[in-house]
Amino acid sequence: MSEQPVNRDVAAHYDLLNEWGPSDDFYLGLAMSADSVLDVGCGTGLLLHVARTTGHLGRLVGLDPDPSMLAVACRRPDIDWVEGHLGTASFDAEFDLVLMTGHVFQVFLTDEDVRAQFTAVRKALKPGGRFAFETRNPGARAWERWSPEHGVDIVGERGERVRVEHHVASVENGLVRFSETHRGADWPEPVVEWATLRFATAAEVDALLRDCGFEVAERYGSWDRAPFTDTSREIISIARPGRPPAGRAR
């Protein structure tokens, strides 16, 4: 009897750890009402998969720099999958809606990084298009729950049992550095990935959007569209390109 290889591919476990939830319902509603959608940092592409299955007939594009995530996404061929970053993709006035879901915003650690992304998003949008994304509100201190006692157990596609735990190494100047450890019962050693995420305040998000010519059309603190407060878990923004500054040619 041949043994199945042990699956230590973290991307293959992503959808088990991040099951469909209220945030996906929120973004699916936006996607279904837009003819053309770009999902920046699409990961395993679940949102666009469900949009297509739900009957979206227009252009759906998923962009992600991680080939292992896109390898999962590509299982559905009726969507355009692009490996790379917004800066290299150079979309120009092509989309009615640009999304950044699953806290992708937080991987951009400096104001310069964020401005570069927002500028590229603005360029990718058609006139009148919308840009929707969320970031965790620092006021809710989510990182305090990223500890081994809040770990989860999952069962992978091949029946493998995997324990996933987080550990925060530092919280400094709005940047949280942490590890994610995947430990399989019969793996020789765990897989440990390190990451740093930015926790920007709503005021910082707004200033960065303004710098790049966006205005916030809608702002929520949770996926049921409750208003944002200082202790909301999320800062959810739907932004539109604003009017160009007076005197600038259109």
Residues at the site binding ligand SAM, with contacts judged by CB under 6 A: 18, 40-43, 64-66, 69, 85, 101-104, 107
We find the least distance from the C-beta atom of residue 226 to ligand SAM, in angstroms, to be 20
Q: Which residue, 156, 43, 169, is CA-closest to 180?
A: 169
**In angstroms, how far is CA 54 from the centroid of its own chain?**
21
CB 156 within 8 A of CB 12: yes
CA distance 8 to 164: 12
The distance between the two most distant Cα atoms of the chain, rounded to a whole number of Å, is 75
Dihedral of CA atoms 126, 202, 175, 173 in degrees, nearest 10, equals: 130
Give the residue with the Cβ less far from ligand SAM, 102 or 184.
102
We find the least distance from the C-beta atom of residue 248 to ligand SAM, in angstroms, to be 28
User: Dihedral of CA 222/225/228/231: which sign?
Assistant: negative
Give the residue with the Cβ less far from ligand SAM, 107 or 242.
107
Return the DSSP state at 52: H
We find the least distance from the C-beta atom of residue 166 to ligand SAM, in angstroms, to be 13
Give the residue with the Cβ less far from ligand SAM, 66 or 111.
66
Residue nearest to ligand SAM (CB): 102
Taking CA atoms, 236 is separated from 79, 128, 217, 219, 232, in Å, by 26, 19, 11, 6, 10
SS3 168: strand
Return the structure tokens found at 28. 């699916």
Give the residue with the Cβ less far from ligand SAM, 132 or 209.
132
Return the structure tokens found at 244. 């160009």
SS3 24: helix
Give the residue with the Cβ less far from ligand SAM, 41 or 221.
41
We find the least distance from the C-beta atom of residue 247 to ligand SAM, in angstroms, to be 33
Give the residue with the Cβ less far from ligand SAM, 18 or 181.
18
CA distance 89 to 220: 30
We find the least distance from the C-beta atom of residue 162 to ligand SAM, in angstroms, to be 17
We find the least distance from the C-beta atom of residue 100 to ligand SAM, in angstroms, to be 7
We find the least distance from the C-beta atom of residue 90 to ligand SAM, in angstroms, to be 14
The residues with which 180 forms a beta bridge, in sequence order, are 166, 193
Give the residue with the Cβ less far from ligand SAM, 64 or 234.
64
